[in-house]
Amino acid sequence: MNKYFTDLMNRIFKKEKPKAQCTECLQSLQLLVDGETTQEQERYFRKHLDECTPCYTFYNLEKTVKEVLQNKIQQKPIPPALIENIKAGIRNQTQA
């Protein structure tokens, strides 16, 4: 278990003691967020998330972070009009 993960566990489970299932669940959260778990695993972890508030909170946090990152790196198509504008601008500049 790396330090990032241990710190996170300590922060999430301040008062409560994590269940064995929690450790398992949190370690697989990345896979779950990425949709890389098997159906069986997903069912198992989702059931746990329903019952366990700390794990649920953490899952949503991971999911949100991932979504934000994805939106950031997603390349938006450039409108053709904008490309024409830029080209025209360059042309004008080189002519001047």
Residues of the shown chain interacting with Zn ion in the complex, contacts defined by CB under 5 A? 22, 52, 55
Our CB check for Zn ion shows the closer of 29 and 55 to be 55
Our CB check for Zn ion shows the closer of 29 and 52 to be 52
Our CB check for Zn ion shows the closer of 32 and 55 to be 55
- Residue 16 Cβ vs Zn ion, minimum distance, rounded to whole Å: 9
- Residue 4 Cβ vs Zn ion, minimum distance, rounded to whole Å: 18
DSSP states of 40-73 as a string?
HHHHHHHHHHHH-HHHHHHHHHHHHHHHHHHHHH
> Hey, what's the torsion of the CAs at 36, 63, 65, 6, to 10 degrees?
-80
How many Cα atoms within 13 Å fall on the side-chain side of residue 27? 11
- Residue 32 Cβ vs Zn ion, minimum distance, rounded to whole Å: 13
